[in-house]
Chain A
Amino acid sequence: MADAATVKDSKAKTVLKTIFNNKIILAFFLVVLLFIAGEIIVPGFAKFNHVMSVLQAAFFLGLVALGQTIVVVSGKEGLDMSVGAAVTLGVVLGAAIINGNDANLLPAILITLGSGFLLGVVNGVGVSILNLAPLIMTMAWGIVIEGGILFIIKGHMFGTGSPALEFLGHGALHLGSLTVPSVVMIWIVLIVIVLFLMNRTRPGRILYAIGENDRAAELLGIRTRLVRIAIYGISGAVSCLSGLLLLGFVGSAHLNLGARYVLPSCVAVIIGGIRFGGGAGSYLGAVAGCIFLTTLQSILTTLQLSEGGRQTITGLVLIVLLLAYTRGSRRQ
């Protein structure tokens, strides 16, 4: 009897410990806290429809953060700073190809995915073959892409979205008084697929393997360089797709849409507990991070903080989390 009690006791302890050590649960807990704080500041902040609108805005960051997640998990100090340029490319390409015609939607999706992938592949080559620091390589390449876009369109945006794209980006399903945005449904499906792929399939295991130990993975017969190039390619592709959908959400295209996704996508990954050394972390954590950041932005906007204030606070949040997480990992 006594034995059983101690076993039960230690089990309860381990459950508590896993909750505290589990960054994903912690991140969702932070999100709930933020919503409570928001409700206190602005009554109605935590209502269903407003929560949905926050989630709707978070989706686009969530898609970018998906790319960021796999890049970070793949290790070697992986980081993709060209996601902003990829988003801008998606916006510009989407507007130019669709140009108001629904029939062009599918080609636009395929072309943005393809060109985003190519953009990422260059990053991948720089990182895995030339051994350049990912941060530097992707940052420089992002500047090239942004400069290239500017050079080609010469500052004039061309084309618009179409009704179907606008429904994808901005539409919603109305169930009585409840509104469920279409992107939120897309996101839920996406999360399920990504979690399945990352945890239950061979490509997912390969991703974690090369992040954990590149050399060991190579010795197991995994072509690590090729895999890493593909990972950066996928990151570029999903960011570019995010840009296309963003065009549907915002309605009109402008050039600075991408830049505001770079820093938040990195912060979201950190909040989600995805280790910067690679090899560990779940997309679910990044999702929590994206919702956290978008909620924070929403509160800061209602407080009417300037762009600079928001930038400063985002940076401070990043520093505090970095400090907490690097301390935590050192203790282990």
Chain B
Amino acid sequence: MTTAGLKQKNGSISWLQKFIRHSAFPSIVIFIVLLVINASIQPNFYSSRVLRSNLMTFTPFIFVAIAQGIIILSGSLDLSLGSAISLFNCLTAYLMTDKNVAPVLILGFGVTVVASGLINGYAIGKLRMPALITTFATSAIYLGLAMIILPVAGGYVPKAFYSLYKSSIGGFLPFAGIMLAAGIIIWFIFSKTGAYRYIYAIGSNEAGAYASDISVWKTRMTAHIFASLFIFMAGMCILMITSTGEYRTGQSYTLNSVAAVVIGGIALTGGKGSIVGAIFGALILGILNNIIFYSGVSSYFQIFAKGLIIVIALCIGAVPVLIKQRKKRKGGE
């Protein structure tokens, strides 16, 4: 503490203050509080089996939150994310046999990149169509296609493939954890590139970014394409969890991803916040689901409660912006 005080006197900010002022700080605190509550409700929370099952369900949550986070940071929005996952889910489950797992996954990857990355990115970035309504429309198209492919739940997912997700490499390294780590490393590497800085630039000040020679539409499209990689990884996790194809599978992820991003302290207007916050936002939602589940309420109430939690989270996320606006107004008058 004393060194921190000294450093502050010298004019630089200590790491502790930096941490507290970070946009992800509130979400980290909420996460820790909820973790304690969850651990006290859920039996054997610390057993390796429970930890692993939590890791398995949280991983796709985290991936969609990263995807939505990057898109929102660029000043865009993707409401077709859930439908793209549904499309991936139905397409791969429809085509898979015991022998063609890898080619089908590559095809699914291609479809996801085209649907979530190229089409949305081009429409919003280059054609400058409003993100909200455009992705809402593409969402209807992707969901419709998923329904055409598999009108009723079914398809086939080989056991050798989906049991991989539950397995551990070398007996202690869970596969889900490796996927999560790989995803985070990919994001981390990307976050050190210039393209990532451009995403922040166009999100916070589009005109300024344009004036300093950043191609706004290319950057926004890059954000969508990069995010589609995470949507694909989430889709793969979900496919391995459900081990079947159904068009409803992805639907809940759309709003959850937006909620996770907002809880994590990323502004919906773009350019402000960090992906770390989005990751913690996803963890918070996942743990809240756990708490609702283990508190023993009826399944009908659970749907209601989950929706309510998202609304409350959105409201809490809106409060800091509100306070800032109040201050601005007072300052202006």
Contacts and interface: CB of A to CB of B under 8 A. Distances in A.
A306 B151 contact: yes
Contacts of B129: 322-323, 326
Chain B CB count within 10 A is highest, among A130, A154, A276, for A130
B314 A312 contact: no
Contacts of A309: 144, 148
B35 interface: no
Interface string A314-332: 1110110011001100100
A154 B137 CA distance: 32
B311 A311 contact: no
Interface in B288-323: 298, 300-301, 303-308, 310-311, 314-315, 318-319, 321-322
Given A140-B259, A315-B144, A326-B129, A147 B318 contact: no
A155 B300 contact: yes
B38 interface: no
Given A144-B304, A308-B147, A323-B127, A263 B140 contact: yes
A208 B129 CA distance: 23
A306 B148 CA distance: 7
Nearest to B305: A147
Interface in A264-321: 266, 270, 276, 306-316, 318-319
B140 A311 contact: yes
Interface stretch (A33-41, A93-101, A111-119, A131-139): A131-139
A314 B151 CA distance: 17
A126 interface: yes
A143 interface: yes
A310 B144 contact: yes
Contacts of B138: 315, 319
A61 to B, nearest CB: 16
B127 A135 contact: no
Interface residues of B, number: 46
A77 interface: yes
B196 interface: no
A144 B308 contact: yes
Nearest to A317: B137
B114 interface: no
Interface string B147-168: 1110100000000000000000
A308 B151 contact: yes
B141 interface: yes
A3 to B, nearest CB: 43
Interface of B is mostly: helix
Interface string B122-153: 01000111101110111111011111110100
A312 to B, nearest CB: 3
B315 A130 contact: yes
Contacts of B79: 135
A328 to B, nearest CB: 12
B191 interface: no
A107 interface: no
A251 B224 CA distance: 46
Interface string A192-207: 0000000000000000
Contact of B144 (A132, A270, A312): A312
Given A133-B268, A306-B147, A150 B140 contact: no
Contact of B137 (A137, A147, A310, A319): A319
Nearest to B146: A308
Chain A CB count within 10 A is highest, among B137, B307, B315, for B137
B276 interface: no
Contacts of A263: 136, 140
B128 A326 contact: yes
Contact of A150 (B123, B134, B258, B303): B303
* 6 nearest A-B residue pairs (beta carbon): A308-B147, A312-B144, A315-B140, A311-B144, A147-B304, A315-B141
Interface of B: 79, 123, 127-130, 132-134, 136-141, 143-149, 151, 247, 255, 258-259, 268, 298, 300-301, 303-308, 310-311, 314-315, 318-319, 321-322, 325
17 contacts: A79-B132, A130-B318, A133-B132, A135-B132, A140-B307, A144-B308, A148-B304, A151-B304, A155-B300, A308-B147, A315-B143, A315-B144, A318-B140, A319-B141, A322-B137, A323-B129, A326-B129
Given A140-B311, A150-B304, A266-B133, 4 more contacts: A79-B132, A133-B268, A136-B314, A140-B255
